[in-house]
Amino acid sequence: MAELDSSAEAGLVAQWRELLARHAVATCMLDRQLGERFGLGMSEFEVLERLVEGAGAGDGHALRVSELAPTVHLSQSALSRLIARLEKAGLVVRAMCESDRRGIMLTLTEAGRERYEQARPVHREVLGLTLGGGFGQACEAPSPD
């Protein structure tokens, strides 16, 4: 692969630092808010969201773990344990997949859907604060509420 000339390199680094900063601030605030108020980590929320999206109208719809995996940026083992936590919390049910008995089907419980619906506005609000325009270094409350 070709070398980068120094101005391209500087631009790349600037872009990278900006990305790191945004990610750090958003992640920090999300984890704090979702954790304190709903007992959810950022990735937990992300998984619940995928399940809600997959479910659509009828809540019978289930998702295979192997389908979920590429959409959340976690290793297979981390995802496995995350699902275990969600199940222990009663937000999700693991069921054997009939057609391929190696697979696991995930279903949102009613509690899981409710938890998600409650957490969602907070999640969006944090995104608005951290991705939208001006923001500081704050990891604290998005609004004094």
Residues that bind DNA (CB under 7 A): 32, 41, 43, 64-66, 69, 73-78, 80-85, 94, 97, 100-104, 139
Binding site for a second copy (CB under 8 A): 1, 3-4, 8-9, 12-13, 15-16, 19-24, 26, 70, 73, 121, 124-125, 127-129, 131-132, 137, 142-143
Selection from a second copy, DNA, none that 50 binds (CB < 5 to 8 A by kind) is: none
The residue among 99 and 143 lying less far from a second copy, judged by its C-beta, is 143
Rounded CA separation 142/145 (Å)? 8
118 interface partner picked from a second copy, DNA, none, CB below 5 to 8 A per type: none
Query: What would the two tokens of residue 91 be?
Result: 């937000």
Instruction: Please report, as a single letter, which amino acid is at residue 72.
Output: V
Residues 6+ apart with CB under 8 A from 106: 51, 62, 63, 64, 65, 68, 83, 92, 93, 94, 95
